[in-house]
Structure formats: structure tokens, C-alpha cells
A = this chain, B = another copy of it.
Amino acid sequence: MKLTILGCFSATPRTDTNPTAQVLEIKNHLFLIDCGEGTQVELRRNKIKFARIKHIFISHLHGDHFFGLVGLISTFRLLTRETELHIYGPKGLKDIITLQMKLSESWTNYPLIFHELTSNQSEIIFEDDKVEVHTIPLSHRIYTNGFLFKEKPGERKLDMNAVLNANIDVAYYRKLKQGFDVYDNSGQLLENKALTKAPVKPKSYAFCSDTAYSEAIVPIIRGADVLYHESTFLEKHAHLAKPTKHSTAKQAASIAKQAEVGKLLLGHYSTRYKNLKDFQLEAQTVFESVELAQDGKEFTF
């Protein structure tokens, strides 16, 4: 599971920081999460192949999280994309994009499929045989979802020494991987766990931006390997976090601790702060395993 941070700063534009966008590589999928202005250029800068992006998840309709989407959709058209593109985001996003395509007379030459979200309950919005994606209803000024990306458990691994010793027909290997007990050539039932090893533990990534401190998300993200939780402010500006419905680094850490996640990744920093290290130090007073998202940084989990 590899995460590339294209941008992790809040809205005010600067020449050296980008608004929110991330690419999550998980089980051969390349999921784009949020798409602030300039994301298409950051994808180029990070040498991410446009054609591999087939699913884009938009948390909410504040500009720093989606103003780059229409440009990316247009560019895909210019590059004569043919592959389907699925977009998951709040109701209204389809209207915004289609109005612009209509007025520019620039309909896509590839299927563009919107999955508009309206529920205030966590729901599965994408699923295939390897991955599922759940929404994480967040508490922000407008309708906002985080996203939980979960690998499905893989198949069990054959313990080839045990399998060969037990003289099991190749035809049964598939059953073994799926966890079933099998019969050997003499007709004796053999227990699966004597012949196989547990699959690699499936990984999960929770993306939570933007949100006020909200314990309601804890049950949804519990045990995630990595939690990206916004920390727009430090505690000394908690009075700004509250009315804007953002979080402090300490609040993000408190959520990480309650949810018993493996690692906390901070981001969506207000551009008022010069030293990001302060975010990490503040969060670590509550939860130890904290890293700082930074534009252009790659994390492999």
C-alpha cells in the first residue's frame, strides 16, 4: 500500500504548497483522493500515469478539495482517454462538472460515471474482489465524507513442505488456499491449518479531511493501519478550529489513540504555520506513532 501526497495544505494558495490531493496505490488500484486546484500538474510532477486513475474520491465541495477535478477530466479528454472514470463525491458535483462541459462544448470521449453521495451513515461505495471503500461521515461546515480503503483478506498461503509431504493432489490446492480442509490420496481428511499459513494481514487506510473533532468516526476507522486526519491548527488556535469545524493536531491524535490505529498521518495544515514539526510534537503528547504529510512525499505501508 503506497500513499503519495500531492498536496496537504489548506486553502490559501502559496507558490510552494498545494491544496489537498493524494494518490493511494492499493492492490493494483490507483485511487485519487480529493483533487485541489493544480492536481493534474502535481500528478505529472510525481510521474503518476493518468491512465491508471480510474476512481476519484471527493470528500466535499470546498474548492481546495475539488477545483482541480474539472481540469483533470478535461485533460483526460484531450489525451483521448477511453477508459471509464468513476467519481465519488457529494451530490451536486455532477452538476458542476456537466455544466462546465456543456458550456465549453467539451463532452468526454470516455465514460464518466458519477456516484453521488448523500448518506450520513457509513456505506460501502466501491467493492471488488480485493478492495472495498467505505465512507466516513465527517463533521464539517458542509456535507463531507472521509474514506476508508480496506484490502480484503487474501488467500491462505500453501505450506509447500507440508502439502508435498501429505501427497495432496494439485487439484486441491485452490480449495486449500480458500481455507477448506481436504482429503489426501488415502481418503483421510486433513486440516487446512496444518497445510497452509495465514494470509498477509489485509491493510487499511482511513482518510479524514476536513473535520471537526468527532468521536463518531472512531468505530468506523478502528484498527486502521494508517489514519490521515486533518490538523489544520495547533492547540493554541483551538478557538479557530471550533467555528471553522477543523481539528487540532492534539485532537487528531486523540482520535488515533481511541481508534487504535497503527499510524497517524497529519495534514491540511493552515498556511499560517512556519514549522510543521510542531504538529508532530503536539500530536505525540497523546499518540506516539505520528508522521507529517508533506507535498510530494511517498509513504509505503
Contacts and interface: CB of A to CB of B under 8 A. Distances in A.
A223 interface: no
A99 interface: yes
Interface in A108-123: none
Contacts of A95: 99, 103
A153 interface: no
B75 A44 contact: no
A31 interface: no
A14 B37 contact: no
Interface string A28-72: 000000000110110011000000000000000111000110110
Interface string A200-227: 0000000000000000000000000000
A74 B67 CA distance: 10
Interface residues of A, number: 35
A141 interface: yes
A104 B63 contact: yes
Contacts of A15: 41, 44-45
Nearest to A63: B74
A83 interface: no
A103 B99 contact: no
Nearest to A11: B78
A41 B38 contact: yes
Contact of A63 (B14, B70, B92): B70
A15 B6 CA distance: 13
Interface of A: 11-15, 37-38, 40-41, 44-45, 61-63, 67-68, 70-71, 74-75, 78-79, 90, 92-93, 95-96, 99-100, 103-106, 141-142
12 contacts: A14-B44, A15-B45, A37-B68, A37-B71, A38-B41, A61-B104, A62-B104, A63-B74, A67-B67, A92-B99, A95-B103, A96-B100
